[in-house]
Amino acid sequence: MDRTNEAYGAEPGLRHSVADGVATVVISHPARRNAMTAAMWRELPGLLARLGRDPAVRVLVLTGDGGTFCAGADITSLGPAVPDESPQELAVRAEDALAAFPKPSLAAVRGYCVGGGCQLAAACDLRFAEEGASFGITPAKLGIVYPASSTRRLVSLVGPATAKYLLFSGELIGTERALRTGLVDEVLPAGELGKRVAEFARVLAARSQLTQAAAKEFAAGRADREAHWAEQARGSGDTAEGVAAFLERRPPRFTWSG
């Protein structure tokens, strides 16, 4: 099944489509290198909630329109329109919603992945990048205190030394260093990112959602749900199906969906 929303005009916004178990969300604001407007930050948590509940969605891919992932926040749009709602709170809310997405998420990065864009990419489970992409976290250039939750997430990915380098300096790094430090998981030659992301998303969509959901919780540090997941495994039939498929040399047909 293939579903695509209609927000494909020149106006900034979030486009999304669902096909073959993969939901693709596209950050689209080409006039400003896909910088996120306040409206886009506000829209993202609700969109993710809907996609997370959709039984047709098994994997989420987040990417940018054209040759750029996201150059951060569109500063010109961030005068708060809601009382007591700061631009930083909007970004953190969106980032937290992405990190909490119940299924595997993958950021497909081309070009600039800077500021709030890097914040979003770091909130995904995995990050694949095209050679020539640039990564940076720039609050030190603006006198902004980077959120504690975002800092902890960055440290968990790249370690404290690289996190401090990025946060203290605001300097951009390339794909070679991003791969070496763990900020990205794979780097692809120019023109090959889309094919590799589609291929790997199909792999993820074919695997057990039970395994993925439990692993995502455990990897995030949650340690109080082992009994829950053991019970889910006993009742799911996924283990028996996986073993049978292996012995019969056929693709498994996993049925657990949360």
Higher per-residue pLDDT: 88 or 6:
88
Cα 211 to Cα 187: distance, rounded to the nearest angstrom:
26
Q: At 197, which amino acid appears?
A: V
Per-residue confidence (pLDDT) for residue 248, from 0 to 100: 93
In whole angstroms, how far apart are CA 233 and each of 56, 203, 215, 223? 21, 21, 13, 17
Alpha helices in the chain (DSSP H): 38-53, 87-99, 116-123, 148-169, 175-181, 193-206, 209-219, 226-236, 238-248
What's the pLDDT band for 79 if we cut at 50, 70, 90? low
Secondary element (H or E) of residue 14: strand 13-19
Per-residue confidence (pLDDT) for residue 230, from 0 to 100: 92
Are 135 and 241 part of one and the same domain? no
Locus of tokens 């047709």: 56
pLDDT at 3 over 70: no
The pLDDT of 101-125, averaged and rounded, is: 97
**Is 82 a member of any domain?**
yes
Cα 73 to Cα 71: distance, rounded to the nearest angstrom:
7
Are 106 and 233 part of one and the same domain? no
Are 105 and 142 part of one and the same domain? yes
Cα 98 to Cα 75: distance, rounded to the nearest angstrom:
21
Are 76 and 108 part of one and the same domain? yes
Higher per-residue pLDDT: 210 or 78:
210
Are 134 and 44 part of one and the same domain? yes
Which residues have C-beta within 8 Å of that of residue 256, sequence separation ≥ 6?
208, 209, 210, 232, 236, 237, 238
- Percent residues over pLDDT 90 in the chain: 82
**Is 8 a member of any domain?**
no
Q: At 228, which amino acid appears?
A: H
**Is 258 a member of any domain?**
no
Are 181 and 165 part of one and the same domain? yes
Per-residue confidence (pLDDT) for residue 258, from 0 to 100: 77
**Is 255 a member of any domain?**
no
Are 91 and 26 part of one and the same domain? yes
Which residues have C-beta within 8 Å of that of residue 149, sequence separation ≥ 6?
92, 95, 96
Are 184 and 230 part of one and the same domain? no
**Is 173 a member of any domain?**
yes
Are 193 and 123 part of one and the same domain? yes
Per-residue confidence (pLDDT) for residue 75, from 0 to 100: 74
**Is 6 a member of any domain?**
no
Are 73 and 192 part of one and the same domain? yes
What is the domain extent for residue 229?
209-248
Which pTM was predicted?
Answer: 0.92
The pLDDT of 39-52, averaged and rounded, is: 97
Tokens encoding 83: 């009382």
**Is 124 a member of any domain?**
yes
Domain count for the chain: 2
**Is 254 a member of any domain?**
no
Are 143 and 165 part of one and the same domain? yes
Are 93 and 154 part of one and the same domain? yes
pLDDT at 184 over 90: yes
The pLDDT of 20-40, averaged and rounded, is: 95
